Structure 1
């Protein structure tokens, strides 16, 4: 049976299974179903006094108990009985509205409900203001969702100094971020690895830009083009199952959000404590037009430029067993020692630019069609002067401890690297939705997504000194160790160095995803009870191409050898913390040299590092899925039950470099390319039970039993072996074609109490039973071919779990007198516990272990923010913190496990709205100048210590 035929059989089987589930009940209730099909249909819209849509409003039909929730444009659809029906519309922060509708069979009725239109005649408090409006939108959507959902609205995002989506999400309970040079890049949801969270834009799955992970670089996506971000922590059968931790959907704006000609935007600039000035700007234009305003168009633009100059020192630790020089019996000293110290002096410019647009057609209440697209580009252009003390080039001598060591024959390297990284993410989707007279809804979407990461420059010029005696001492401060090299002027003297090499490295990763999905939803009556049936199917195909080239040229003659170091240096001092690194390279002169010599150093096959072939791979992943679900209300309890089926076909190919005699035809430096390939397929079932119960209007309980999956990162499963040798040390990163996907059976339960007029106190507990959890293992000195190597590969742990509790408190203090009523608070705290058990035990004799904490999991996360909003003035002081977490497991020694130290950050924002559409605002970020720290085993073995400084931003917003 062919693959396509198999897919069709699976799709047909899943559809028939769904029909088999619903048909007997429908047949037994033909008369009731026929009545539903001719029932009047109410097309409603909920707006505020300014005409803005209110998403997440709850609509209750008083006579029947029917329930609906308004969508992003405040719209809803309900089939009601003939005659008079009373609609109660509830929305946190605004008084409940009641409206009566009279309808006859088969008639469509349009209903518009305005909340808070006449505050003078209402006894309830109406919450107004930019901060509180954003809070209201978020709380209403999560309050009335079927599953556990957290929502960030654009208004709420704009009140924090968060330039990208990753940093915006760190404010949500249970979400932490991983940073690069101080900026958020990846997210960890509920303590899970970043790859356990799928990301979509307007429902379109986004492929990762990196070749090494499925996790999406969220620093590529600016936060100012976002309408809202929805995090689904419990999935429904209608959602893709590839989100063990949670699914993030980034929603862009719609022209029907405001239903008129509208223009908004902002612009501003900032000062970086560790760098130059920054600029940011954005604008959105939208309008509705045509007969009865049935067409809508929107364009949103964003641009930012950030200059960064972080301070960075790295010390690479190993456990060394080499004999001491001069020892009488050559004993092994068995200590943790530093093999190299690297001082990085960055000059980095980061730019983000984004464009999103929408064309929508809504000719009547029951038909809508759209074409939506988004494009985001992140460019990181970096020059890095480095000074490197390489102790591993020499041998230990004299007294060695875990804090101090002296090496003879060590060397000092001085280098300039120019690295430019360019990420692009593009999404495009077109589709339509039609509502039938019986209330059934059919929707279909064709989507295309493309991610690309390129490194136009990864070029480096390296000079090396002669042999030296170097020592270090970390006993005084592991953040600021003492290095003997700084006690002389040798490292600053250009004649101490000679040309070592130039290197050129380029990468291109291209991921393209095409998908088609269709859903059908039908309200019906089964056994006298209102039931909403929904079923659908999706097919997606993703192609991945990763290509890397590495060249190294150590030719000792001109023009490759540029000669003396002095002519390539500038007069600009190079400083890192209190360490004087001498002077910087002249970046222009070195760039000119590298550009001139690139062709010479890369046109000969002999200069291409053969192992770079094995970094390349291709992959194709096809996923066919189908689901069926039923949703019913049993009094105040909403029950959703369903099943999703996903079939995955995966194919991949790579190359291996095999050693052959030098005379072998086609051999390069004694190696030839040998292609490798693999193919797997699997079918997974994802049952689902989701329950929501309203104890009363303000107290909501939730419970969910779900199942989800995380497929392996492509680079971990492709049959590739990337081997590099530097300084006599061979490092191997290899794929594991036998790697299995991680499956998780999940239990979620929670209580949410909504405070009036606006707030919530909630607690949510979760437990994830993990099977085949993927972990990365580093084995030092493992047997490899004819020698030994440091080997990195991914393996499956048969058992594991991830559990935790999230606490959340948000409240406006409107009950306080006078000016004090403008205060409010946001606070959340998450505690998690995780563990995996591996098939094998790792470590030296007497110190073996097979139980580990979960990489990426912090025991505690918390956010705390105090805000004030009154008479156009608003301010927010916020603090976010995550505790330490494990990054990589070392097979030999727990003392070489790589950890990331816990970190907190204090931010402040303020603004004043003049009431005429103009608003001035200011932001202060990282006021505590918190460092980013990584360490091996214990904090005293600091691997990386990096500081970014604070940032002050001032700007103006406008809205017309």
Structure 2
């Protein structure tokens, strides 16, 4: 019996709660699937039938770590009705989409799923990329990859791995982009949970599933894939690959299986950004001249313009392993292991120039025709010189999870237990080399060109080293850690009660810690006028130009290489020390230079205890729920009712600084600098959350079902946000520019007239008074299933919430300290989110011949969300206004066209989201701040299977290469383009195999 199969294939279906109806494969379909040369389209019906039946009766939460039933890669049909006994090969989009549809259809929870075939056959390197195609999911991208997943517009998503909590470093969630696609079996996006699931965030829960040896029917499986990608911006190639080995055998002590799966992914990226600052001063400085005089001085412009190039190389090794042992038919013991790694090596280039500082001259000013208080083009002469940095960084993440457990069926009782330990650490070291131009360049600016701002430096010789000097050297270190134990025990009890066929109970305990340590130092050396070429950073090179089009004129400048900066860090450190010694000798009363010199006396960057925190937290959770079902005429009705009770006990500590005050007077040292003192702060928390859930499903026919659901959720603030330490320190920023002219302080529109000017003190920290974000969630769906891979679904939902947490900048007048500006997280007030989701998919099997290979899938989501602005940021005695929720797009949409016939399967997929805000700043009822314009992408993949054990692949991602655009709004119907980021197109070639 042959056991060949493609590597990327349909996932296991442990989440299915009941068998689907009207999905049995016909005898003809079974015969077609068993044929030696069966195409991928012919195998799908039998594969879906096997997967659906294997999941009968499974509950979403308590079996989330099981992966029992058929293989995600193959289904051996050994039933008597299949006289050939041949294995059914599970391949193709039909199988994967039908399997995902079955998961959605039969789960007790409201969810959407992506199975392994979807991940493997898309040009996706990570789990996060694949989630972008799920109904109701939106993503944010940076550095050519997804770096944030939002469900129904919200980032508060809990993450689990095989049903267990998993996190990255000090976070409460995992970085989903650290899961390489080759390591995964499937993904589930829970939008309305059940009591037996780990308590989800406001947005829901995303469960990532891996493979286990008992998922396969074969005794030995060896499978994998290799792939190479090319980025059209970096002009570089990158490898990706994975290998899986799984074996199972019957022994004298029972059936035993083991599996190991290793994967590696790599990418090199470079994004080019042209930008104008979001700071748009209300008035022009008095020392700025304007010509022609006919344009007046009533216009507003961004304070500066610049270029930013985000570039680097990242790679992610990952290994997961599993051992399963069944000493008896009703008993299974298992052990799972996961390692995730991330390595990043970056070289980020920034150039910026002020348009208003140091008495700049604005000439050739042309106002916009439709908005004469804005500028279309101008030329800046004189003023402040341009400045730049090349920041090199080394980033590493290592996450480990080891777990073991057992499942035991005793009559009607189904018992399970699981114990896991997780440890994760992220560290980053940065080495930044700063330069400035020797003279202030003339700059031509167009604020509205090709969707953004662009500028050029006419007549400036960018390749002449004499035009640059060394501005300084910066180093930093950053270390965050997290670890924790978790244990759970669960009981599923079948009853003889027809109305209440099942009870579920369980307990979960966690013991979690998180910490952060960081430090930095900076040597500011611009006043020494050291030529750029005279530092120990090595040879200079022009930064790479990867802009698309010719809108941006100034695209590159001289800087040392990345290896020259990082590789010569010891020499740069010593050189900085020597220059600081000269500066201290020349400026003995300057405390800033003295502090910088002290920090450079040691070889390593010293950790700053004032910027650290430590958290320890335990949770005790108990849940109980029952499943009910009954008939009303021909209508079948079922659902769940339950609750989860969670007790959280936490300790959070940190160290801050406050000015020393005696008799109402701030104490100062001999140089007149205010004296500050450290203060250790620790708080404790102990609170209980009761999280009820209830669901109702009505099935008038086998094909139609209607759901209603209610849940209460809560999302805890991140550990860093709860840091009780708060620091206030004197503002030591320079009051004069290097040329001796005063630093211009422009009005900040976020604050009233009495809060303008240069703050005397600045501060920030966490906020131990933050409360968890809570929400009452109401969901309803209508789902109609035409066939095993064809459906139309619609959902409406409403979230009544309180307590969104965001960082806000505040100012206040203190009778002792004067004008104080602080940044800290604050709970917003009440909020509301409502939305509609619609989706559908089908293959045109009814069409004749080759046309029957076509299929489509499409979905769209509409969201409308508002939250109250924080009370303490609103005018006194006024009700805070309702404002838009940051990061929430009103519309998101996906569409895919498939073709699958014989040995060929291909997909063209399009997705997008409408514009959204990046933050909330309100002045007199008018929003100002930053937002992002609509984003769209087009991806393509092509697969050819010359023989059953090998598939050849080609894919192309981000074919449209539409720039990412932000805007800066500073008043009612007034905004400037903020930045335009050109991202890379990726092309890939590869092969998957299975033996």
TM-score past 0.5 threshold: yes
CA contact (8 A) 1:440 1:523 kept: yes
2:694 counterpart of 1:686: no
SS at match of 1:238: coil
Deviation at 1:169, TM superposition (A): 0.5
Structure 1 window deviating more from structure 2 (224-233 vs 423-432): it is 423-432
Distance 1:597 1:326 in 2: 38
CA 1:500/1:447 → structure 2, altered by over 3 Å: closer, same or farther? same
What aligned pairs does 1:321-470 form with structure 2 within 5 A after superposition? 321=282, 324-326=285-287, 336-391=300-355, 393-395=357-359, 397=361, 402-403=374-375, 406=380, 408-437=382-411, 439-455=412-428, 457-466=429-438, 468=440
Deviation at 1:561, TM superposition (A): 9.3
2:565 counterpart of 1:590: yes
Distance 1:315 1:725 in 2: 26
CA 1:591/1:56 → structure 2, altered by over 3 Å: closer, same or farther? closer
Residue 3 of structure 1 is matched in structure 2 by none
SS at match of 1:945: strand
CA 1:263/1:365 → structure 2, altered by over 3 Å: closer, same or farther? same
Residue 125 of structure 2 is matched in structure 1 by 163
Deviation at 1:747, TM superposition (A): 0.6
Residue 874 of structure 1 is matched in structure 2 by 905
Distance 1:828 1:959 in 2: 33
CA 1:245/1:283 → structure 2, altered by over 3 Å: closer, same or farther? same
Distance 2:397 2:475 in 1: 19
Aligned residues: 861
SS at match of 2:496: strand
Deviations along 1:346-384, whole A, 9 cap, x unmatched? 441111111111011112221111111111112221112
Distance 1:353 1:327 in 2: 54
CA 1:340/1:619 → structure 2, altered by over 3 Å: closer, same or farther? farther
| TM-score normalised per structure 1 | 0.82
CA 1:547/1:891 → structure 2, altered by over 3 Å: closer, same or farther? farther
2:225 counterpart of 1:229: no
Question: What runs of 5+ residues in structure 1 fail to find an aligned partner?
Answer: 1-49, 63-89, 100-109
Residue 161 of structure 2 is matched in structure 1 by 201
Deviation at 1:116, TM superposition (A): 10
Residue 550 of structure 1, aligned match among 499, 517, 520: 520
**RMSD, matched Cα:** 3.9
Deviation at 1:725, TM superposition (A): 6.5
Residue 741 of structure 1, aligned match among 747, 752, 772: 772
CA 1:545/1:598 → structure 2, altered by over 3 Å: closer, same or farther? farther
Residue 207 of structure 2, aligned match among 242, 249, 258: 249
SS at match of 1:139: helix
What aligned pairs does 1:682-761 form with structure 2 within 5 A after superposition? 682-721=687-726, 732-761=763-792
Residue 479 of structure 2 is matched in structure 1 by 508
Distance 2:815 2:361 in 1: 29
Deviation at 1:881, TM superposition (A): 0.4
Residue 261 of structure 1 is matched in structure 2 by 220
Deviations along 1:750-789, whole A, 9 cap, x unmatched? 0111122422110011111002232332347987974546
CA contact (8 A) 1:416 1:462 kept: yes
Distance 1:51 1:888 in 2: 40
Residue 764 of structure 1, aligned match among 772, 795, 805: 795
Deviation at 1:707, TM superposition (A): 0.3
Deviations along 1:459-513, whole A, 9 cap, x unmatched? 11112234626555334417453435x1121655422333221110110000112
Residue 823 of structure 2, aligned match among 789, 792, 802: 792
Residue 952 of structure 2, aligned match among 920, 934, 955: 920
Residue 525 of structure 1 is matched in structure 2 by 496
Residue 313 of structure 1 is matched in structure 2 by 274
Deviations along 1:510-536, whole A, 9 cap, x unmatched? 01121111111111134x544211111
Deviation at 1:670, TM superposition (A): 5.0
| TM-score normalised per structure 2 | 0.79
2:151 counterpart of 1:189: yes
Deviation at 1:576, TM superposition (A): 5.0
SS at match of 1:736: coil
CA 1:725/1:191 → structure 2, altered by over 3 Å: closer, same or farther? farther
Residue 109 of structure 2 is matched in structure 1 by 147
Residue 30 of structure 1 is matched in structure 2 by none
Residue 852 of structure 2 is matched in structure 1 by 821
Residue 858 of structure 1 is matched in structure 2 by 889
What aligned pairs does 1:571-720 form with structure 2 within 5 A after superposition? 571-572=541-542, 574-577=544-547, 578=550, 579-598=554-573, 605-606=598-599, 613-635=609-631, 636-659=636-659, 671-720=676-725
Distance 2:510 2:623 in 1: 15
Deviation at 1:164, TM superposition (A): 0.7
Deviations along 1:588-622, whole A, 9 cap, x unmatched? 33333323244786996445999954331111222
Structure 1 window deviating more from structure 2 (801-810 vs 934-943): it is 934-943
Deviation at 1:632, TM superposition (A): 2.0
Distance 2:143 2:53 in 1: 53
Deviations along 1:276-327, whole A, 9 cap, x unmatched? 1111111111000241761111000111121112212232221324653358
CA 1:498/1:662 → structure 2, altered by over 3 Å: closer, same or farther? farther
Residue 7 of structure 1 is matched in structure 2 by none
Deviation at 1:562, TM superposition (A): 7.5
Structure 1 window deviating more from structure 2 (620-629 vs 580-589): it is 580-589
CA contact (8 A) 1:96 1:115 kept: no
Question: What runs of 5+ residues in structure 2 fail to find an aligned partner?
Answer: 1-8, 22-44, 55-67, 291-295, 366-372, 578-595, 661-665, 736-757
CA contact (8 A) 1:182 1:932 kept: no
Distance 1:430 1:823 in 2: 44
